[in-house]
Structure 1
Amino acid sequence: MEMLCTLRSATEAQRAALLQAPERLEDFLDDDEDFGDPKGATFVELDIGEAWHGLQYLLTGTPWEGAAPLDFLVRGGEDVGDIPSDEGTARIFTPAQVKALSTALQKVSEDTLRRRYDPARMQAQDIYPGTWEEPEEDVDPLEELVSYFEELQKFVATVAKRGDALLVHIG
């Protein structure tokens, strides 16, 4: 089973609604734009696919740990719950946490990511998807991760500027 990561903005009303009724998480993820917000606020979303664990490693130097807020792909925020249909989980971050994350991401340099990239070590530490030493043909895993990182920086900056919360779903 693939483990894919999607990040989605949520208004404060939507964040509160998700925490009150976690069983409705799937509805929220299924593009129900009116979910928990009487104004029908639109959301922004970023799909980083299988790159989430590689990004976690490049941002923190660890597979499952690291310092907040850069460990946000695998830790932190408030647990919203599990999604039975895809065996996934979701966590949500407050607007203040998103602003701190945006600031932290802007301080990470591409050089830092490139220095931390070590396919053999990533393979040994079982960084998902586990194909670091045997990448697909015509795909440079490092360049793909750097590209996703740049998208992630822009996305989180947009969510922070909107004053929204951030939902991280891996499933």
Structure 2
Amino acid sequence: MLTGTGWQVSEGAGTAILGGVEVGQDGGYGPPRLLDRDTVRAVAAALDALGVETLRARFDPGAMAAADIYPDIWTNGTGELDYLMSRFARLRRFYHAAAVNSQAVLVAIT
């Protein structure tokens, strides 16, 4: 939903989850990734610019399940969009705080 694609990472919002430089061992969903301070600022700006309407328009549970998008909850019933929107708000706040404090971010999917 951040990029409008299944697995293609572009600069900006998609980098929040799958961007950065790989560091360490693969923990099952790929190795952790390190985003430097400049990348964190760019991600924060891209997340701030990403509108809720865009996310809602990109929400397609069937396509997300078919593309094997993590986590595997897309065909469970209702509530998935609300779940994602609440997590998106948290992600946006996290990157904003990291950018304001000039911090790097380590991303690991577990």
Distance 1:92 1:131 in 2: 27
Shift of 1:124: 1.7
- The corresponding residue for 2:86 is 147
Shift of 1:78: 1.3
**Is the counterpart of residue 82 in structure 1 residue 21 in structure 2?**
no
Shift of 1:131: 2.9
Judging by fraction of residues, say which structure has more strand. Answer: 1
- The corresponding residue for 2:13 is 70
The one-letter code matched in structure 1 to 2:67 is Q
Distance 1:128 1:110 in 2: 20
**Is the counterpart of residue 170 in structure 1 residue 109 in structure 2?**
yes
Distance 1:132 1:116 in 2: 13
- The corresponding residue for 2:51 is 109
1:21-170 equivalences in 2 (<5 Å): 58-72=1-15, 73-74=17-18, 76-82=19-25, 86-87=27-28, 89-135=31-77, 140-170=79-109
Give the alignment's TM-score, normalised by structure 2: 0.88
User: Match of 1:127, SS?
Assistant: coil
Shift of 1:134: 2.1
Distance 1:87 1:65 in 2: 19
The one-letter code matched in structure 2 to 1:79 is E
Q: How many residues align?
A: 108
Distance 1:104 1:113 in 2: 13
Change (3 A) 1:87 1:66: closer
Distance 2:69 2:20 in 1: 22
The one-letter code matched in structure 2 to 1:126 is D
Task: Give % identity.
Answer: 35
- C-alpha distance after superposition, 1:84-134 (max 9, x if no partner): xx5452010111110111111100001000000011111222212333122
**Gapped runs of 5+ residues in structure 1?**
1-57
Give the alignment's TM-score, normalised by structure 1: 0.59
Q: Does the CA contact (< 8 Å) of 2:73 and 2:80 recur in 1?
A: no
Distance 1:150 1:130 in 2: 20
The one-letter code matched in structure 2 to 1:103 is A
Q: Does the CA contact (< 8 Å) of 2:59 and 2:81 recur in 1?
A: yes
Distance 1:130 1:111 in 2: 23
Shift of 1:65: 0.3
Q: Does the CA contact (< 8 Å) of 2:62 and 2:74 recur in 1?
A: yes
